[in-house]
Structure 1
Amino acid sequence: MNTSTSQVATGLALYDRTAGDAAAAVIARYSTSFALACRLLGPRPRPHVRNVYALARVADEIVDGPAREAGLSTEEAGAVLDRLEEDCLAAITHGFSSNLVLHAFARTARECGIGAFLVEPFFASMRVDLEVSRHDTASHDAYVYGSAEVIGLMCLQVFVNAGSGHPVVPSPELVDGARRLGAAFQEVNFLRDLADDRTRLGRDYLDLVSAEDRTAVLDRIDRDLAAAARVIPDLPADCRKAVTAAHDLFAELAARLRSSTGDDVRVRVPDAVKARLAMRAMLGFAPRGAHA
């Protein structure tokens, strides 16, 4: 008779693990660069950051094409997004969702102190993508806050609180750095995707009318990246390498955008350069521009 005790997860533990695996699969499919940066995180924050980004990716896909390709109208896609937000907030309250990605995110939210104050602005910005095609300064800034700065703040909640048992409010300096890093990432993506956003999605996030306007965006990106770089050393040690690698990848993209001559080709960083940036971060070098 075999009297050994099985170590296989069952019940809620199995469901939790499966939900985390589903979130990790979403990230692996959609972003090799992000998946690489996640591997540089310590085991404490890594699954939680994946859970945050998996939710963000699912919401993006509702507004960025797949829902339309499936035959949904703008109004129907909006209704799907509304239900996703409602289900997300309910999952945070109750600690369970039948949607595996939402379940994984809710576990992270409950452990790390991510509440409606961050979830609602995110979904508001996703909703804007269904309603607004051209942005002015005010709508641009509001959109960047909800779509990108909030994601940085969610990740900061993870960095500070994962595994602590008692979530705390991060310092104002870290909050500012997280917001500015998220904004820089989003602005870089706006510039990289300018042609696709205009032609495929019919959106204009930047309203650029001259080369000087484009340079002003790049200058803003550089200032935000420099400000974020200065506070990365204040993050918990098991987060710094990954954030440094992500920061430096986008700093490299910004530099390549500055030297590019057109918007019709999406600027990218060659794999060999990505590997060099990741190795630099792994070796503990400070992020680019940390002393600017």
Structure 2
Amino acid sequence: MTTRVPMMNLYDETCFECSKLITKKYSTSFSLGIRTFDKSFRYPIYAIYGFVRYADEIVDTFHGYDQQQLINSFEEETFKAIEERISTNPVIHSFQQVVNQFEIDHELIRAFLRSMEMDLHNKAYDEDSYQTYIYGSAEVIGMMCLRVFTNDDIQYQALVPKARSLGAAFQKINFLRDVKADYTERGRSYFPGVDFNNFTEHDKLAIEAEIKHDFDEAFEGIKCLPAGTRLGVYIAYIYYLQLFKKISYTPANVILQKRIRVSDLCKMSLYIKAVLQQKLNVI
């Protein structure tokens, strides 16, 4: 036992570093925000991001393979690891540590995985399935992160609706940003009642009004987050807000033709602005 503990510490750290690498490779927006967290929050959030990113890869990227079997195996290994507190898969190992340390509700994980599975079978969504998908694919991720941010149950419950709103806003913006890939390449249409063969400005404005409401709700929650996490979440918020503004200024027909993005230079400018705002106690 005297030699096992330091070796396990090395393994644990290596697994968290794998999740950190995944975050940096896949998302500039989130990785820059996480860098501003107090150190104790960084590894847990990297672990959550790495887990949800790789589950998403199964349904969005692993074409030509048995994706249903892959997502089933991923789920089985996840809950086995949570129970046994160990996995030889570094992404799942780091995630199970966070789940066990912060007592993340297993139903949040199941809801997330069910939404990933929906992408294998659903091509169009009605209002009920849309809300189910948004909850599982995005809102529960905000709730997992919130559980890491606060160990105060009263504060957690008070901020859950705001965390859900932020996750929902991010996901709906992703839907608009990725319409070309989702609809033309994967045949998916997430927004209920919207015909992307005849996507109008009226359709786009209705979606944008929904997103703005989510953003407004979320910002009130960000202001109440613990100091060690507030700036990082705010950075992700303003990155997505800038993307939302660009999408809002883009005609509906153009949204269908290309992916709208925020340049790295713009992201760095927003990052510096957010840091200054924190120093001035504006956030």
TM-score w.r.t. the length of structure 1 is: 0.88
Shift of 1:272: 2.4
Say which of 29, 49, 52 aligns to 2:45.
49
Amino acid corresponding to residue 228 of structure 1 in structure 2: A
Measure how far apart 1:169 and its partner are.
Answer: 6.0
Q: CA deviation at 1:276?
A: 2.0
Q: Which amino acid aligns with 1:240?
A: R
1:142 & 1:96 partners in 2: Cα distance? 30
SS in 1 for 2:223: helix
2:178 corresponds in structure 1 to 193
Q: Is 1:249 the equivalent of 2:239?
A: yes
Q: Identify the residue that residue 265 of structure 1 maps to in structure 2.
A: 258
Residue 26 of structure 1 corresponds to 22
Deviations 1:180-232 (A, max 9, x none): 00000000000000011012211111142432121111111111111111121
Is the aligned partner of 1:203 residue 2:188? yes
The worse-fitting range, judged by mean Cα deviation, of 111-120 and 143-152 is: 111-120
Structure 1 residue runs of 5 or longer lacking an equivalent are: 1-8, 162-166, 288-292
Contact 1:157–1:170 under 8 Å retained in 2? no
What is the CA distance between 1:137 and its match in structure 2? 1.2
Q: CA deviation at 1:270?
A: 2.0
Between structures 1 and 2, the one with greater helix share: 2
Aligned to 2:108: 118
Query: Is 2:160 the counterpart of 1:175?
Result: yes
Aligned to 2:271: 278
Q: What amino acid does structure 2 have at the position aligned with 1:129?
A: D
Q: Structure 2 CA distance, aligned partners of 1:78 and 1:286?
A: 47
Code of the aligned partner of 1:190:
F
Residue correspondence of structure 1 range 127-206 to structure 2 within 5 A: 127-161=117-151, 168=153, 170-206=155-191
Q: CA RMSD in A?
A: 1.8
d(CA) in 1 for partners of 2:40, 2:282: 22
If the length of structure 2 is used for normalisation, what is the TM-score?
0.91
For structure 2, list consecutive stretches of 5 or more residues without a partner in the other structure. Answer: none
Q: How many pairs were matched up?
A: 270
**2:218 matched to 1:228?**
yes
Aligned mates of 1:97, 1:176 — CA distance in 2: 32
Checking the alignment, whether the CA contact within 8 Å between 1:244 and 1:286 is kept in structure 2 is no
Does the Cα contact within 8 Å between 2:108 and 2:140 map onto a contact in 1?
Answer: yes
- Alpha-carbon offset, residue 38 of structure 1: 1.2
Q: Deviations over 1:19-49 (max 9, x none)?
A: 1111111111111222111111110111100
* Maintained 8 Å contact 2:37/2:229: yes
> 1:22 is matched by which residue type in structure 2?
C
Cα 1:77/1:111, change in 2 over 3 Å: same
